[in-house]
Amino acid sequence: MKLFMAALLTETNTFSPLPTGRAAFLGNRFSRNDGSSQPPAWGNIPLIAWRRLANAAQIEVVESITANAQPAGTTVRAAYEEMRDLILDDLRAAGPVEIVLLNLHGAMVAEGYDDCESDLVRRTREIVGPDTVVGVELDLHCHLDDTLRTNADLVVIYKQYPHTDMAERAEDLFRLALRTARREIRPVMAYHPLHMINMWHTPVEPMKGLVAEMLAAEASGEILSLSFAHGFPWGDVPHVGAKMLAIADGDERHAQATAKRWGVRIWDMREATRKRFDTPDAAIDVALAAPAGTTVIAETSDNAGGGAPSDCTAVLARMLARDVRDAAIGIFWDPVAVSFVHEAGVGALMPLRLGGKCGLMSGDPLDLMVRVHAVTDRHVQSGLSGGISELGPAAWVEVASGGGGIHIILASERQQVFHPDAFTNLGCTLHDKRMVVVKSSQHFYAGFAPIAREVRYCAAEAGILRDFAAIPYERFTAPYWPRVENP
Ligand SMILES: [Zn+2]
């Protein structure tokens, strides 16, 4: 038996001004045929699992690319087509294969392609024919269209947000694909659309319990696979929105009924899971009012992982205006500022223009006087699902004007905060801070919850729009909750 595998991922925020081009893929630890032997990171974690399981089952593996671009704006058409065609060329060259496994995102939009994943899977099916098992792993922030459902045999989606289960879901997909290839099961997939735009956090109730029940339903054999596609709110495509996906063994009605039953449960939880965000000032109020401990504030509106620039100054400006002390904030993506700080060196007291460079989402630049505490040519933080996240040349500075006491992490690679070591690896301690602001939506949570007295989620007016009812969709025209109460 022969297995073909590849990875192509990015999450497209169609409202972001940052282009996603060739360099975004090729400059981000791109691998041609050996991604599964590289250190674990976002793109290759499933491939590492598939390689290990295939070896154990004595299945030959043909590996194509691992390509992964940081979420940003619409992908340049030629860049998508180049990546796609590398995979398809490798698939043709591999000859007949019994299983194709693809690690994709599910919310990749390119010029001329509303759904890159379904385009890739449809072309994959054309090459391999009807008998090869085509399995796809997706991020839960995905759009699901019918082309994907009818051309793939199996779609398995992360269940956890933060995404701590990439490897487990890869194992689920591998086992289902192998059973399908051996004709032990005959998967049929059904969607249930929810007409909802929201974000659901799975470490907390009621989602925590629901995910546990989904896993239990799979383990009991009631259903082969059950996935909740949360959707990605900032993709203006006609099929945006949350959906339940069920895979049953040969029984389409059972798949449809199961997807609907679980979808109704999500709908019924809508008030308990409705996301509300603090203003920056409200979040700062909470931190300042705390008697002790560290309040962790997510600056969700400037999350690189959602396609934001990560150089927005809106929250930092409020911290400065309110003379906040004993605080840290990061990670600002500002390669120019990093280069100035590196040039000045550790110990320097220097003027620094920070942030505000990428467009309206960035807010205004801030002119600060800073003290340089640390510089490094290669900063890293712990990533998700055991991966490593590269941050490039970076620095730790402290605002020196006023009373000082706001510590800032700057980096040259645009990346959200995943872990406290994004600060501590540079020497910036967090246990002595009353307030730590992380530019992230939710992926910071697993790493920061243990050190947080309280976690708050805030959204500034600049950056990614967090009022789901007010996202200015043009191509998505269907009614949805929370824009209307009963779509
Ligand atoms: Zn995601």
Q: What is the pLDDT of residues 47-58, one digit of tens each?
A: 999 999 999 999
For residue 445, the model assigns a pLDDT of 94
The Å distance, Cα 482 to ligand 1 centre, comes to: 21
Average pLDDT (260-282) is 95
Type of residue found at 419: H
- Asked whether the bond before 291 is cis by omega within 30 degrees of 0, the reply is no
Summarize pLDDT for 398-416 with one digit per residue, the tens.
Answer: 999 777 799 999 999 999 9
Alpha carbon of 384 to ligand 1 centroid (Å):
11
What's at 413, amino acid-wise?
E
How remote is the CA of residue 452 from the centroid of ligand 1, in Å? 23
pLDDT of residue 78: 98
Burial of 326 (0-12, 13-18, 19+ CB in 10 A): middle
Percent of the chain's residues with pLDDT above 70: 100
**Tell me, what's the pLDDT at 466?**
84
For the segment 245-256, the average pLDDT, to the nearest whole number, is: 98
Q: How far is the CA of 245 from the centre of ligand 1 (A)?
A: 16
| N-terminal to C-terminal alpha carbon distance within the chain | 47
List beta partners, residue 138: 157
Q: How far apart are CA 134 and CA 187, in angstroms?
A: 11
- The single residue listed with the structure tokens 């030959």 is 60
Q: Which residues 6+ apart lie within 8 Å of 71 measured at CB?
A: 10, 11, 12, 13, 16, 304, 305, 306, 307
Percent of the chain with pLDDT strictly greater than 90: 94
In angstroms and rounded to an integer, the radius of gyration of the C-alpha atoms of the chain is: 22
Pair type for strands 349-354 and 225-229: unpaired
Q: How confident is the model at residue 276 (pLDDT cuts 50, 70, 90)?
A: confident
Q: What is the mean pLDDT of residues 467-485?
A: 95
Mean pLDDT over the full length of the chain: 96
Give the mean model confidence (pLDDT) for residues 222-229.
98
**Which pLDDT score, from 0 to 100, does residue 387 have?**
85
Would you state the structure tokens that stand for residue 411, as one six-digit string? 């980096």
The mean pLDDT value for 236-259 works out to 98
pLDDT for residue 339: 98
Identify the residue whose tokens are 């979040």. 283
Distance 139 CA to ligand 1 centre (A): 5
Please tell me the predicted confidence (pLDDT) of residue 65.
Answer: 98
* Six-digit token string for 89: 């060329």
Encode the chain in three state secondary structure. CEEEEEEEECCECCCCCCCECHHHHHCCCCECCCHHHCCCCCCCHHHHHHHHHHHHCCCEEEEEEEEECCCECCECHHHHHHHHHHHHHHHHHHCCCCEEEEEECCCCCECCECCHHHHHHHHHHHHHCCCCEEEEEECCCCCCCHHHHHHCCEEEECCCCCCCCHHHHHHHHHHHHHHHHCCCCCEEEEEEECCECCCCCCCCCCHHHHHHHHHHHHHHCCCCEEEEECCCCCCCCCCCCCEEEEEEECCHHHHHHHHHHHHHHHHHCHHHHCCCCECHHHHHHHHHHCCCCCEEEEEHHHCHHHCCCCCCCHHHHHHHHCCCCCEEEEEEECHHHHHHHHHHCCCCEEEEEECCCCCHHHCCCEEEEEEEEEEEEEEEEECHHHCEEEEEEEEEEEECCCCCCEEEEEECCCCCCCCCHHHHCCCCCCCCCCEEEECCCCCCHHHHHHHCCEEEEECCCCCCCCCHHHCCCCCCCCCCECCCCCC
The side-by-side arrangement of strands in the sheet containing 388-399 is: 349-354, 366-382, 388-399, 406-411, 327-333, 435-438, 295-299, 454-458
Using the mean position of ligand 1's atoms as its centre, give its distance from the Cα of residue 226 in Å. 17
For the four alpha carbons of 415, 416, 420 and 424, in that order, the dihedral sign comes to: positive
Please give the distance, rounded to the nearest whole angstrom, from the Cα atom of residue 199 to the centre of ligand 1: 10
Judge residue 421's burial from the number of C-beta atoms within 10 Å of its C-beta, 0-12 exposed, 13-18 middle, 19 or more buried.
middle
pLDDT of residue 384: 83
**pLDDT band at residue 258 using 50, 70 and 90 as cut-offs:** very high
Tell me whether strands 435-438 and 295-299 are parallel, antiparallel or unpaired.
parallel
Rounded to the nearest whole angstrom, what is the distance from the C-alpha of residue 160 to the centroid of ligand 1?
Answer: 9
Ligand 1 centroid, distance to 446 Cα (angstroms): 14
Contact 247, 184 (CB under 8 A): no
Say how many Å lie between the CA of residue 324 and the centre of ligand 1.
32
Find the 289 Cα to ligand 1 centroid distance in Å: 32
At 39, the pLDDT band (50, 70, 90 cuts) reads: very high
Residues 227 and 140: beta-carbon distance below 8 Å: yes
Say how many Å lie between the CA of residue 200 and the centre of ligand 1: 11
Do 168 and 46 touch, CB atoms closer than 8 A? no
Residue that wins the pLDDT comparison between 467 and 433 = 433
Ligand 1 centroid – CA 244 distance (Å): 16
Residue 334, pLDDT > 90, answer: yes
- pLDDT over threshold 90, residue 11: yes
Is the predicted pLDDT of residue 417 greater than 80, yes or no?
Answer: yes
| Phi-psi sector, 405: left (phi>0), alpha (psi -120 to 50), beta | left
Are the CB atoms for 371 and 406 separated by under 8 Å? no
307, 13 contact by CB (below 8 A): yes
Indicate the angle between helix axes 252-268 and 207-220, nearest 10 degrees.
Answer: 160
- The CA distance from 160 to 162, in Å, is 6
233 preceded by cis ω (within 30°)?
A: no
